[in-house]
Chains A and B, each alone.
Chain A
Amino acid sequence: MSARFEIAPPPSGPVPYPRELSIKLLTDMLRIRRLEEKCAELYGAGKIRGFLHLYIGEEAVAAGSLPALAPEDNVVATYREHGHALLRGVSMNAIMAEMFGKREGCSRGRGGSMHLFDAAARFFGGNAIVGGGLPLAVGLALASQMQKRKRVTACYFGEGAVAEGAFHESMNLAQLWHLPVAWFLENNHYAMGTSVERSESQTDFCIKAAAFGMPTLKVDGMDVVAVHEVAKRACAQVRAGEGPVFVEFNTYRFRAHSMFDAELYRDKAEVELWKTRGPIHTFSARLKDQGDLTEEQFLEIDRAVMAEVQRAVDFAEAGAWEPVEHLLKDVYAP
């Protein structure tokens, strides 16, 4: 296998949280994992169509970072956003119905997998244009600043977006105007089939952000504890009015880029190696080590999550199709 990565040992060591928080983090990761495994299955069955980008392997990033946000904060994400929407509080039912294209979906079925939106959760999508969310985040933060609100805008994006002009322009504006944005870079090392080394002259993303004068933090994105700690720090800084903060989460997607991908660009062995760092089993092992979790308890959580997923599938199945007469709705204000 190509020894391209210095792959750190699996996350380990004591989990410094009350059991309740630990179990929440574990449950959240499992909810994403089981939801998406089901989505992959439903894609095969033809219930979900179009593009479907799975977050499997990267769950610790969403699970650790989203709890650092308050309800009044903003979240901007990409097309790989099922997990972010879910943990931001969009119900699994509404997400699944959206994937089915039913009107009970969180975007009334109009958007599908890549366009989950929820105004109540201040979840601003679901953008399928790489880098498309970054200028939007700048603007949301600008509005907060001008309205003198203590509101953080968290913007998630993949490392592929860093090559876009929109990244550089957005970093500059955010720093220039001292805007309250938490930039959450999910570096999973590949943009479709293009690895970071094959697309970036400077592969250290924090150096790029630092060039704009921004404080940066780098963290193991497979370790939900490390993610949570860093996200809390970053959000506190942003909320305190210290301007934007840039966080790089080092992570890995275990599955194909989308449902059409022969994965010619990476070794199976590399994927297997990263799987040993999988965020769910390493975290549960740590909890077991310190007596916060038994195998029986884990299975119980898993069963509950699976039941939630099944309810979501049933809900989506029972949902209604938007009547064709409504085709032209929501293009302009009513």
Chain B
Amino acid sequence: MTITYREALRQGLYDAFEKDERVFLMGEDVGKYGGTYAVSKGMLERYGPERVRDAPLSELAFVGAGIGAAIGGMRPIVEVMTVNFSMLALDQIVNTAAMLRHMSGGQFEAPVVIRMSTGAGRQLAAQHSNTLEAWYAHVPGLKVVAAATIDDAHGMVLAALDDPNPVVIFEYPALFELRGDVVHPSVDIATAKVMRPGNKVTLVTYGACLHKTLEAAEAVDGEVIDLRVLRPLDMAPVFESVRKTRRAIIVDEGWRSGSIAAEIMARIVEGAFYELDAPLARVCREEVPIPYPKHLEEAALPQVEKIVAAAKELLG
């Protein structure tokens, strides 16, 4: 029986709640409203307001409170409605959650799980269309994962709760209606994964772009790798693939400068330079805040045609 990506997220939360009674969910409109994207729909009725806590519009405070509760022995799952609003909580995530273990000489840890939706593509305009995974992936002490599949939508939250480090999980509203089966009820949050074998070009991506990349790969015999974990990066499958295809393109919904794509390219150059037969390429978000009209938004984002064109250019 197939389920949607949204249902997979919800199932993951239910499984987490059943597994460990220290787990609770906290965020804006997670309870009575039924979840911003209906992800946590029904959870308040099932688990009550102690464990499904509606928080006021106080991102800095409730994300920080989640971090504190994790330090104090609970297992909070904090939901920030979207990555756009997580900017208000950045201080607590970076200066406290990420650094606590190191600056306390290893005495304290903050095993908090912070979930947030991210990405563009729904004509929500500049302030509601950011893709800032790279910001989080920049910070040592955080684990950063991106759920691009049904398995990961379901399983990443469970894996994150089993991890003693603060974990940021990115979820993609662009994929909420995606359907599939939960094939692997438990997933790791350590490895990148080959999603489609191919021979001509390695296509590295993460998040919602995975699906555009898979489509593009059909046209160019591409090998598609879903990074899954944006920090710490697992480069082994990328190197292995590049040894075979000798070419690589990174597809990244984030802005080009200082992007995940930039980091992957640098690492390929460091680790597999002599395997390459062509310069590396990337397809990223144009360096503009996302405009509202559909045609401009589409032009600003990676698209199947752009990926195919970039691949054809590399293949000569």
Contact = CB atoms under 8 A, between A and B. Distances in A.
Contacts, number: 121
A261 B124 CA distance: 16
Contacts of A193: 29, 32-34, 54
Interface string A47-78: 00111000000000000000000000000000
B293 interface: yes
B284 to A, nearest CB: 13
A155 to B, nearest CB: 16
Contacts of B235: none
A115 B293 contact: no
Interface stretch (A125-133, A139-147, A225-233, A303-311): A125-133
25 contacts: A51-B124, A109-B292, A110-B125, A112-B293, A114-B127, A115-B127, A115-B292, A127-B127, A128-B125, A129-B88, A130-B85, A160-B57, A161-B57, A164-B59, A191-B57, A193-B29, A193-B33, A193-B34, A199-B54, A199-B55, A199-B57, A264-B33, A322-B293, A327-B300, A331-B289
Please list the 10 inter-chain residue pairs (A to B) with the smallest Cβ-Cβ separation, ordered nearest first. A193-B33, A101-B293, A112-B292, A163-B56, A199-B56, A50-B123, A49-B123, A128-B127, A163-B57, A163-B58
Interface string B272-296: 0000000000000011110111111
Interface of A: 49-51, 101-102, 109-112, 114-115, 127-132, 160-161, 163-166, 191-194, 198-200, 261-262, 264-265, 321-322, 324, 327-328, 331
B28 interface: yes
Nearest to A115: B125
B60 interface: yes
Given A110-B292, A194-B32, 13 more contacts: A50-B124, A50-B125, A109-B292, A110-B291, A112-B293, A129-B127, A161-B57, A164-B59, A193-B32, A193-B34, A194-B33, A194-B54, A328-B286
A109 B126 contact: no
A102 B295 CA distance: 11
A54 B59 CA distance: 24
Summarize B's interface: helix, strand, loop or mixed.
loop
Band of interface residues on B: 35 or more
A130 B84 CA distance: 11
Given A128-B128, A322-B296, A164 B57 contact: yes
Nearest to B59: A164
Interface string B35-70: 010000000000000000011111111000000000
A111 B33 contact: no
B312 interface: no
Contact of B88 (A102, A115, A164, A194): A164
Nearest to B300: A327
B122 interface: yes
Nearest to B31: A193
Contacts of A129: 84-85, 88, 127
B56 A321 contact: no
